[in-house]
Structure 1
Amino acid sequence: MHQGSCLCGAVRFEVTGALHPPDACHCSQCRKHSGHFWASTDVSRAALTIHGADHLTWFRSSEKVQRGFCSTCGSSLFWDPLKKDTISIAMGAFDLPTGTRLAMHIHVADKGDYYEIGDGLPQNQH
């Protein structure tokens, strides 16, 4: 079981089972949503329990995706591909230890110009 929350604790969540290795998305939407790149892990919707869901606000960022954040403190928590059986959870929202490591970078062709990626992990341009 893995647990986590937003900054103020109004939204808490639990994930049953092991976490998949996270990826870091560098697309412009993820950078604007999170303030930098978005590191997250995909979990089965059935494995996720959310407490305080009434404090979540969902922003429909595209036809296929909504992003969830705490309406009290503004913490970015979820990236939700609406028609899939999984949902992505921000790695920074998990209580430690997570027991996983970043696996890859995605959408690096759109990354910010203010940083370099130098960790040696695979980098997908799109």
Structure 2
Amino acid sequence: MHRGSCLCGAVRFEVAAPLHAPDACHCTRCRKTSGHYWVSTDVLRKDLTIHGAEHLTWYQSSPRVRRGFCATCGSALFWDPPPDREKIGVAMGAFEAPTGTQLGIHIFVADKGDYYEITDGLPQNAQ
């Protein structure tokens, strides 16, 4: 069982499955959402339990994706594709340690900020 929360603790969650290697998304939307780049892992919706969901606010960031934030402290927690997909992205920074996983890939690196370099040797996808 993996547990996590927002900064203030109003939204807590549990994932009842091993975590997959997360990806680091460098697209403009993820950078603006997180303030840097977004790192998340996809989990099956059936394995995710959210406590304090009444404190979540959802923002439709594109026609097909919404993002979940704590309405109290503003923590970015979820990247939610259409509900017909069986997985939802959960922010790695919101998990309690240990997560038992390591970053697996960088995506949308063509959009990355000009103020940093990616030098960890992991695979990089332009889009």
Residues 49-91 of structure 1, C-alpha deviations (whole Å, 9 max, x = no match): 0000000000001111000000000000000001311000000
Residues 77-114 of structure 1, C-alpha deviations (whole Å, 9 max, x = no match): 00000131100000000000000000000000000000
> Residues of 2 paired with 1:109 and 1:17: CA distance?
32
CA shift for structure 1 position 28:
0.2
Residue identity in the other structure for 1:90: A
Residue identity in the other structure for 1:41: T
Q: How does 1:31-70 map to 2 (within 5 A)?
A: 31-70=31-70
User: Alignment partner of 1:77: what SS?
Assistant: strand
Instruction: Indicate the RMSD between aligned Cα atoms, in angstroms.
Output: 0.5
> Residues of 1 paired with 2:11 and 2:122: CA distance?
32
User: Alignment partner of 1:33: what SS?
Assistant: helix
2:88 aligns with: 87
- State the aligned residue count: 126
CA shift for structure 1 position 17:
1.1
User: Alignment partner of 2:89: what SS?
Assistant: strand
2:106 aligns with: 105
1:16 aligns with: 16
User: Alignment partner of 1:61: what SS?
Assistant: strand
> Residues of 1 paired with 2:29 and 2:52: CA distance?
25
